[in-house]
A and B are shown apart, each in its own frame.
Chain A
């Protein structure tokens, strides 16, 4: 028994030290960047074997709160500019804030469009189950903007904490429609379809990225941001439908 414990302890220690050879870099990224930043992580690590990118994905406002509470984050990629602006105001941004991608809103419906959604006006229908993002996360703020532009009073049945949670319930067919980012549609593997919002002007969705104070690997953080802004990052983002800012 004692030997087993010893072996376990040695394994734990070597495991912990083995990971120490690579420099960990904690990157907090908006939920809608899940696929894009997973691809960025793979390519960046392939070129930088000494760096281990750790992705922290979630609603931008939740990520902002973590940083404001002192989370040891190196890079913050937000789905809007306001969340980073609050981090700047708190004196926690260590370098320039750069817009690196843009996106559009669309209406997601389950494959086959069982609710016969034809436009944003249908989101006011009471006979359907409609989902939006909660108004504290960027996709909720943007959706409210789009609804205001179209003059539609939506009748939501749920306000989800981030865009991927919303998309999951639409792809499961539990919701008839919801407003998501255009880039989210492709990630659902055919389980959702897109219906154009078709009201002008379209809401501008802009992603910003910045290095965060408090992480000692400032050089690595800057290098990672350069990679996202450079040709490789641009190509990965472009392939997934994110336009240049």
Chain B
């Protein structure tokens, strides 16, 4: 097979496009306090934010798995009126500005919100300005990534395997556990990774709904936002951390090591 050179104009435009993504990274690297990076990353504000970010993003990923997987299954397998609309609503946070999502969460789950007010009266639980609120905000923006990935996998799945298992006497739970889930496992893993990465980077909905308090709701992105005005070195170091984690996730998705097995 002979390799054809791409048209010059196409290559040039593509190069400009690539520079648009690469230049800001170089700018960040150029501004990084390399000599003292360890010291900066060890500061209390960074350590607190990192711990909280892990807790909140993993919590949001768990919530997404618990509720998103069944949602994806229903959307892929059950015919009902309004399914297209429901899918649109579930995927809305993919394109909605997160701050709008945060405001909507506040109107709904806030202390004077539709759900929040009865929730507080019944259980005493107040979501805004709490770590639970931050998890909810992160799950709101991140869960669609799980739903869209898993639903796609379920639709592309050859249902004859499930049919064969059922014909051989497996009940519906056994089919789900032993046939369906193993077959969509690669997509489920990518979906979970994407969901986690999105939750880790969540900012707008969190600061709007859960506020910003070091040690309680101030995740890495919020800490970067605040540190930009006070402690620039810490802001850059934390940004670098987020870039590397996100890049690692995306590269691992691309290599699809679990698919090779």
26 A–B contacts from the bound complex (CB under 8 Å): A59-B229, A61-B229, A61-B230, A62-B229, A64-B229, A129-B128, A129-B129, A131-B211, A156-B213, A157-B213, A157-B216, A158-B210, A158-B211, A158-B213, A159-B211, A159-B212, A161-B207, A161-B225, A169-B106, A172-B106, A172-B110, A172-B112, A173-B110, A174-B128, A174-B129, A175-B129
- B87 within 8 Å of A (CB atoms): no
Q: Please, which residues of chain B bring their CB within 8 A of the CB of A59? A: 229
Query: A61-B229, A65-B228 in contact; A134/B111 too (CB < 8 A)?
Result: no
Instruction: Determine whether the beta carbon of A136 is less than 8 Å from that of B126.
Output: no
Query: A172-B112, A174-B106 in contact; A157/B129 too (CB < 8 A)?
Result: yes
Instruction: Determine whether the beta carbon of B230 is less than 8 Å from that of A174.
Output: no
Instruction: Determine whether the beta carbon of B111 is less than 8 Å from that of A161.
Output: no
Instruction: Determine whether the beta carbon of B106 is less than 8 Å from that of A158.
Output: no
Q: Please, which residues of chain A bring their CB within 8 A of the CB of B230? A: 61, 135-136
- A160 within 8 Å of B (CB atoms): yes
Closest chain B residue, CB of each to CB of A157: B129
- A74 within 8 Å of B (CB atoms): no
- B149 within 8 Å of A (CB atoms): no
- B217 within 8 Å of A (CB atoms): yes
- A137 within 8 Å of B (CB atoms): yes
Total chain A interface residues with beta-carbon distance under 8 A: 22
Q: Please, which residues of chain B bring their CB within 8 A of the CB of A64? A: 229
Q: Please, which residues of chain B bring their CB within 8 A of the CB of A134? A: 212, 226
Instruction: Determine whether the beta carbon of B126 is less than 8 Å from that of A129.
Output: yes
Q: How far is the CA of A61 from the CA of B210 in the complex (A)?
A: 22
Q: How far is the CA of A181 from the CA of B182 in the complex (A)?
A: 59
Q: Please, which residues of chain A bring their CB within 8 A of the CB of B228? A: 62, 65
Closest 7 A/B residue pairs (Cβ): A158-B211, A61-B229, A157-B129, A136-B229, A136-B230, A173-B112, A174-B110
Query: A59-B229, A136-B229 in contact; A159/B112 too (CB < 8 A)?
Result: no
CB distance from B53 to the nearest CB of A (A): 17
Which chain B residues have a beta carbon within 8 Å of chain A's beta carbons? Answer: 106, 110-112, 126, 128-129, 207, 210-214, 216-218, 225-226, 228-230
Instruction: Determine whether the beta carbon of B212 is less than 8 Å from that of A160.
Output: yes
Q: How far is the CA of A65 from the CA of B231 in the complex (A)?
A: 11
Q: Mark A129-142, 1 if CB is under 8 A from B, else 0.
A: 10100111100000
Instruction: Determine whether the beta carbon of A173 is less than 8 Å from that of B111.
Output: yes
Q: Mark A54-97, 1 if CB is under 8 A from B, else 0.
A: 00000101101100000000000000000000000000000000
Q: How far is the CA of A64 from the CA of B112 in the complex (A)?
A: 36
Q: Please, which residues of chain B bring their CB within 8 A of the CB of A135? A: 230
Other than A59-B229, A158-B210, A159-B212, give 9 A-B pairs with Cβ distance below 8 A: A62-B228, A131-B211, A134-B212, A136-B226, A136-B230, A137-B229, A159-B218, A161-B226, A175-B129
Closest chain A residue, CB of each to CB of B222: A161
Q: How far is the CA of A105 from the CA of B213 in the complex (A)?
A: 22
Q: Please, which residues of chain A bring their CB within 8 A of the CB of B110? A: 172-174
Q: Please, which residues of chain A bring their CB within 8 A of the CB of B128? A: 129, 174
Closest chain B residue, CB of each to CB of A63: B229
Q: Please, which residues of chain A bring their CB within 8 A of the CB of B207? A: 161
Q: How far is the CA of A79 from the CA of B197 in the complex (A)?
A: 37
Closest chain A residue, CB of each to CB of B230: A136
Q: How far is the CA of A50 from the CA of B228 in the complex (A)?
A: 36
Query: A62-B229, A137-B229, A161-B207 in contact; A174/B213 too (CB < 8 A)?
Result: no
Q: How far is the CA of A175 from the CA of B212 in the complex (A)?
A: 13
